[in-house]
Amino acid sequence: MSSPYSGATPASASQGYAEPATQNYASDYPATEAIGDKLGGPITAEGHPDVEGTSVGQLLGEVSKDLSTLMRQELELAKAELKVEAKKAGQGAGMFGAAGFAGYMVLMFLSFALWWALENVMDAGLAALIVAILWGVIGAVAFVMGRKKFQQVNPKPERTVETLQQVPGALKPN
């Protein structure tokens, strides 16, 4: 059975860096069996519940309960997708921080050594300028890598938007 909820995971599920584990919420409640079982009535030959003799109030109660379940599942899906995207953003921010700290430490220790080495060959001011340009290039490379990671972040929960667009069609009678 194909379901728009096949990729949803509960918010409490622990996940690593991979895509969320699949859990098929729709398969937990097969449409033809669930309504027929809940209402206590048989299923027609076409696979629809035989609702003859069932009150409108009971039917509306079932629809309300199903819509409530659907909205809870959509919220869980959105949470799971946003959690994955937040991890990507955190990794990008961590790379910026690591690049900054590493750049500072390397700049501090190696810059003095390189400056003193170049000072033996040329003027001290020119040697310091060459060292500064070199570390500027290294900082630019670290910035480009961090920006690339941030560009991979997608703040829009794609699967949730896709499944929510299918809700109005599911509410229309066939």
Closest by Cα among 152, 16, 21, 10 to 88: 152
- pLDDT, tens digit, 9 for 90 and up, residues 100-116: 898 788 778 878 888 88
Average pLDDT (143-151) is: 91
pLDDT band (50, 70, 90) for residue 144 = very high
Average pLDDT (118-140) is: 88
User: For position 41, what pLDDT does the model report?
Assistant: 58
Task: Write out 16-30 in H/E/C secondary structure.
Answer: CCCCCCCCCHHHHCC
